[in-house]
Structure 1
Amino acid sequence: MSHKILVVEDDQLLRENITDILEDAGYDVYPAESAEPAMALCQEHIFDLAILDYLLPGLTGTEAISNLRQFNPNLSIVLITAFATVDIAVDAMQKGANDFIAKPFSSTKLLMTVKRCIAEKAFFPEDSELNLDKVYSALSNPIRREIIKQLTDNKELKFMEIFHLLDIEDHTKLNFHIQQLKKTGLITQDDNRIYRLSKAGAQIFRHQVNR
């Protein structure tokens, strides 16, 4: 069965081009010109992935994310934008986007991103207790990504070991980031205050961080 992809883009020519590229690659594509008809489609179909323009008429791409996930909770999101800045990338991840692509982009870039996001989706079972919005928000922070990387490399670490490895100037700051990772279910802590990656955390690092 082919994967279903929702394409939300107000530029008709670009929307048609994206649709053609994805259909030629074997995907089942549903185009929409704004967030409102896209939400209607999400009530009728279960999509694997949605491609959203960052600037849409009405609801913007980032504003539409939570609305689309009300109907498709496990929907992967790729934002496309002509304004590829660090601030926009961080905002996109904090709002729950899995990835973003800067315009103009090649068909190869589009297909590689779509394929990767759909592959990553397989690591989040439908009954997963992880809140994906919180997970991707957590991973948008470089300190938290580095904590996960160190736990991947070292398997298990005590608080002070993490503190020295990251060379952070403030114990309180590090503790805050560790607590955020614990809340998302990415890391665990035992009675001896030894931190380890959860199974989900290990999978996410391999397929999401530093890709």
Structure 2
Amino acid sequence: MSLKLLLAEDDLDLREVITEALTLDGFEVTACESAEQAISCVMRHSYDIAMLDFVMSGMSGIDAIAVLKQTAPNMGIVIVTAFGTIDTAVDAMKKGADEFLTKPFNLQTLSVTLKKVHAEKTLKSPHIDQNSDLVFGALANPIRRNVIHQLKMHQRLKFMDLCRLVGIEDHTKFNFHLRQLIKSGLVTKDSEKTYFLTPTGLDIEARLLMQ
């Protein structure tokens, strides 16, 4: 069965390219040029996934998330932007987006991402668990984001090495940030007090911090 995709993109050329590519890949695409039109479509029809541009004339893709989720709570939502930053990614995910992509993107990668989002929604196993507030709180701090980045690069680090790489001289302050990351489920440590990313931490790093 083909997946029903609602595409909201105000760039006509890109909208047509995406529509053609995903249609050839088996998607049933409904394309529109604004978030307002997307909301109107969702109120009249059922879709598996909505893909919205972050910046459009009128309502932004992120502003539309709340309305879309209220109207179609089981629909996957992907936000796309040419101006990807950690803050916009966190904001999009916090407001309910299931995925965040930065332009330009590979069309094959886009197809895989959309199918993955749909599978996660279908299985009711989102990549951010019930402690999402703790996760977003951790990501909001640049020191903690740096910790996650360093652990991704070096895999496993002792406290002092991690402290040095992040560039924090106040060990008490740094220990507080580490505790918050552990509490959020992004970082853990073994019996030898070596810190490393949890599977959730690795997933978050790949999805948000490397955009």
Same fold (TM over 0.5): yes
Q: How many residues align?
A: 200
Q: TM-score, normalised by structure 1?
A: 0.64
Residue type of the alignment partner of 2:165: L
Which letter does structure 2 place at the counterpart of 1:34? S
Which amino acid in 2 is paired with 1:29?
V
Distance 1:165 1:31, change over 3 A: same
- Partners of 2:76 and 2:133 lie apart in 1 by 11
2:90 to 89, 94, 100: 94
Contact 1:94–1:133 under 8 Å retained in 2: no
Gaps of 5+ in 1: none
Query: Aligned Cα RMSD in Å?
Result: 4.2
Q: What secondary structure sits across from 1:68 in the alignment?
A: helix
| C-alpha distance in 2 between matches for 1:174 and 1:26 | 49
Question: Does structure 2 retain, via aligned residues, the 8 Å contact 1:5–1:29?
Answer: yes
Q: Could you tell me how far apart the structure 2 residues matched to 1:136 and 1:41 are? A: 31
CA contact (8 A) 2:138 2:181 kept: yes
TM-score, structure 2 normalization: 0.64
Structure 2: tracts of 5 or more residues without a match: 94-98
Q: Within 1, Cα distance between the matches of 2:141 and 2:120? A: 21
Counterpart CA distance in 1 for 2:65 and 2:33 is 15
Partners of 1:46 and 1:100 in 2: CA distance: 20
Q: CA deviation at 1:194?
A: 6.6
- Within 5 A, what are the aligned runs for 1:28-43? 28-42=28-42
Change in Cα spacing, 1:99 to 1:62, as seen in structure 2 (3 Å) is same
Identify which range, 129-138 or 71-80, moves more after superposition.
129-138
Q: 1: CA distance between counterparts of 2:161 and 2:40?
A: 50
